[in-house]
Structure 1
């Protein structure tokens, strides 16, 4: 397993390095590519094979971003030099300094996102590392789950019921195998008094899910299906 050390939020003087430009899901994707390179080196001594792996890793990582400055490319290029776990950890520690935090939200802001939840407690926001979030999720009253996503620069709230499963399964959000539960939300049907329930299985632990997400596409697809 590759571990990433916490980095300081202190900024250097202007011009020393590019501003933060990497989302949590993109960082997780980069982490997976670093792991692939470490595993490749451990299982193969074929120089050509390893060269292809390095080329593909860089191509995939650069492809995450619509446009990269030379300074940003310089942050990501050391990935191709990764061979051992220690090198991967050092690289990821450097890259983590450029993580973009999830959109800021307050307790009052959460109440506005869920106006029908009169007794909303919300998570302890001051304990969260927003740089490690692709979405905000928490459970209240045992079976009520709240999800907050960022889309097109604004926050959206989704409320539903959550029933834990005794089995492991594939999460619809992160697409990884984990302890899951059924998240179900009600949406208005064809008539005013008609409601439709839609849902799917997602991680029981939102922290685990956020650490696994390597694309926002599945998250947004999941929410869109709930809202149809």
Structure 2
């Protein structure tokens, strides 16, 4: 039986390192440089996993034997059955996360390939609001806020990818509650949430933002 052990952001690390190594193999002839890049790639991949078994480590390190595009494709394909999908969630669970949104529009969950998402998100175009659901410390957390296109490119806070950005602003609880005291945090994030999920390689900034937004 294949026990899943690879989360989406870790799979993205594997993809990124595979693509970089293949590109290097195609453009660099110096064997010394190639070996340096090869071992750097495998180090970056293994370090993306805080805990792995010896068998899992051997699987990850098998990139050292890849030479051709076919080798790399086979290497990546071999991990698909080990992908740990985003935890199962129902529409009712999502609705409970956003009790103030009475007319909450929920994405078509059956159409989502949960193997390839780190966070579930969608935009309600009518209200210009972005909703994010994330499993944090064993529980689902939901945050929502206003999303405003910037019409410019920059680096997304979540995936650190240079892409079209939007400003995501979330209201938070002020340190001194009063009718006139409003607190909020905001960050620039990808306009394309699906592409963001395909690029994110580390959850630290995403989790920091969510924890801050919940305070």
TM range (shorter): over 0.9
For 1:121-140, what aligned pairs fall within 5 Å after superposition? 121-140=105-124
Deviation at 1:94, TM superposition (A): 0.9
Structure 2: unaligned runs, 5 residues or longer: none
Structure 1 counterpart of 2:201, from 211, 214, 222 = 214
Partner residue of 2:167 out of 161, 182, 187: 182
Measure how far apart 1:33 and its partner are: 0.7
**TM score, norm. by length of structure 2:** 0.93
1:37 and 1:82 in contact (8 A); partners too: no
* Distance (whole Å) between structure 1 residues aligned to residue 164 and residue 122 of structure 2: 15
SS at match of 1:79: helix
More displaced stretch, 189-198 vs 102-111: 189-198
Q: Deviations over 1:149-202 (max 9, x none)?
A: 111121110010111121112111101011111110111112222221211111
Matched, 1:106 2:90: yes
Q: Which residue of 1 aligns with 2:43?
A: 59
Q: Deviations for 1:75-116, whole angstroms, at most 9, x for unmatched residues?
A: 212211223333222211111221100111100000111111
Cα distance between partner residues in 1 of 2:106 and 2:61: 40
Tell me if the contact between 2:153 and 2:162 (Cα under 8 Å) persists in the aligned partners.
Answer: yes
Across the aligned residues of Structure 1 and Structure 2, the Cα RMSD in angstroms comes to 1.5
Contact persistence 2:46–2:61 (CA under 8 A): no
CA displacement at 1:122 relative to structure 2: 0.9
The answer as to 2:81 corresponding to 1:81 is no
Secondary structure of 2:79 counterpart: helix
Q: Show the counterpart of 1:148.
A: 133
How far, CA to CA, are the matches of 1:31 and 1:38 in structure 2?
11
SS of aligned partner of 1:110: helix
Cα distance between partner residues in 2 of 1:197 and 1:68: 39
Aligned positions, number: 212
